[in-house]
Amino acid sequence: MENLPTRHRLMLIYGKTHITLEQATADWLPHINEKTARRRAKTQTLPWPVINTDNSQKSSQFVSLTAIADWLDQREQQAKTEWRKIHG
């Protein structure tokens, strides 16, 4: 599984291509509560785009696992760059 791209690994883990906003924040941003996540989703200030199924405030909101994978890969690259600066 190590050689699989992050997006494929996430799709294997979750068994789908999109997850709910609640699940995304619970799994990847656990320090953000649901109210804050919904507010940030409304202004698209989370690390990934949030898809609204309708224009209603109570509509379901989803996040693409590809978007989460891209974000994770970017964060990993940043961490590796910082690590190399420290450890040469």
- pTM > 0.75: yes or no: yes
d(CA 10, CA 19): 10
What letter represents residue 9's amino acid? Answer: R
The pLDDT tens digits of the residues spanning 15-36 come to 999 999 999 999 999 999 999 9
**Full residue range of the structural domain in which residue 38 is found:** 6-87
Residue range 71-78: average pLDDT? Answer: 98
Q: Is position 24 within any domain?
A: yes
Kindly indicate the confidence band of residue 72, based on its pLDDT and cuts at 50, 70 and 90: very high
Q: What is the pLDDT of residue 1?
A: 66
* Number of structural domains in the chain: 1
Q: Are 19 and 63 in contact (CB under 8 A)?
A: yes
Q: Taken in order 7, 8, 12, 13, is the CA torsion positive or negative?
A: negative
Phi (first) and psi of residue 17, to 5 degrees: -95, -20
How many residues comprise the chain?
88
Q: Is position 1 within any domain?
A: no
Q: Kindly report the CA angle at 83 between 78 and 87, in degrees rounded to 5?
A: 155
Q: Is position 60 within any domain?
A: yes
Q: Is position 39 within any domain?
A: yes
Residue range 44-60: average pLDDT? Answer: 92
Q: Is position 16 within any domain?
A: yes
